[in-house]
C-alpha cells in the first residue's frame, strides 16, 4: 500500500492478510502504527519514488488510494510496484478523475437557460503542477501542497511501460445530495460527471 497515509486501507482487510504500508510522512506512519495491533500489518516510512526498503517481490496485490496525484513522479511509484508485485499480481489505483476533477482547472457551472449544472474543464492534456492552499482563509500564512495532473492516456502509458494491463475501470460519482429548489438540477449534474476514477490493472509477464 504505497502512500498509505494513516493506514486506512489496512483496517478493511481480513486480519490474516499480510499487509505492508509505506508512506513518506513520519507522523502518518506513527499514527498508523499506533492504531493497529495486528502482527500481520507492517508500516514503514520511506519515499515511494525511491528504492523501497523491502525485499519481498511476490506481493499478490498493491494499491495507491487517492495519493498518486500528490506524487511528482508517479511513474516511479508505479515502477516500484511492478518490481515488488508478483507475476499476475493485481494493482488498484483510485484517484481524482483526471478529466473532471482538476484543481483550479475544473468547476461546476450553471446554464440558466437550459436549467443545467455542468462541469467546466479549462485544461486537460497538458501535465500540470498545481499549488493547493491547505487553509484558504489564512491566505499567505497557509501551508501549500502540490497536486500533479496528468491525462488518462499518460496514466495508461505509465502502466503499460511498467508491465501492467488494465483489466477494468470504474468511474464514481459524488454521493452528495442537494436539497431545495436547485436540488434536481444539482443532483442530475453530479450523477453525470464522475469525480473519482478507479483502475484495476494486472502485472503481465513480459
> Which domains, ranges and CATH numbers included, belong to the chain?
47-203 (3.40.50.150)
pLDDT tens digit sequence for 25-53: 999 999 999 999 999 999 999 999 999 99
* Whether this model's pTM surpasses 0.85: yes
* Whole-angstrom distance, CA of residue 92 vs CA of residue 125: 23
Grid coordinates representing 39 are: 502482527
From residue 134, give the alpha-carbon distance in Å to each of 86, 92, 125, 181.
38, 27, 26, 32
pLDDT band at 8 (very low <50, low <70, confident <90, very high): very high
What is residue 44's DSSP assignment? Answer: E
Amino acid at each position: 500500500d504505497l502512500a498509505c497515509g494513516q493506514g486506512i486501507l489496512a483496517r478493511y482487510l481480513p486480519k490474516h492478510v499480510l499487509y505492508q504500508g509505506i508512506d513518506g510522512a513520519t507522523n502518518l506512519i506513527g499514527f498508523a502504527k499506533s492504531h493497529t495491533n495486528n502482527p500481520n500489518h507492517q508500516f514503514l516510512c520511506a519515499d515511494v519514488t525511491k528504492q523501497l526498503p523491502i525485499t519481498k517481490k511476490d506481493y499478490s496485490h498493491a494499491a495507491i488510494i487517492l495519493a498518486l496525484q500528490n506524487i511528482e513522479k508517479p511513474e516511479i511509484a508505479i515502477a516500484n510496484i511492478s518490481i515488488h508485485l508478483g507475476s499476475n499480481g493485481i494493482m488498484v489505483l483510485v484517484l481524482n478523475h483526471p478529466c473532471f476533477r482538476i484543481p483550479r482547472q475544473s468547476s461546476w457551472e450553471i446554464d440558466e437557460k437550459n436549467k443545467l449544472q455542468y462541469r467546466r474543464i479549462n485544461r486537460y492534456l497538458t501535465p500540470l503542477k498545481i499549488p493547493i492552499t491547505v487553509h484558504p482563509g489564512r491566505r499567505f500564512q497557509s501551508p501549500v501542497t502540490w497536486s500533479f495532473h496528468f491525462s488518462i492516456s499518460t496514466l495508461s502509458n505509465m502502466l503499460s511501460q511498467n508491465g501492467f494491463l488494465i483489466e477494468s475501470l470504474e468511474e464514481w460519482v459524488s454521493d452528495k445530495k442537494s436539497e431545495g429548489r436547485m436540488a434536481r438540477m444539482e443532483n442530475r449534474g453530479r450523477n453525470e460527471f464522475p469525480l473519482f476514477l478507479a483502475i484495476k490493472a494486472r502485472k503481465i509477464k513480459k
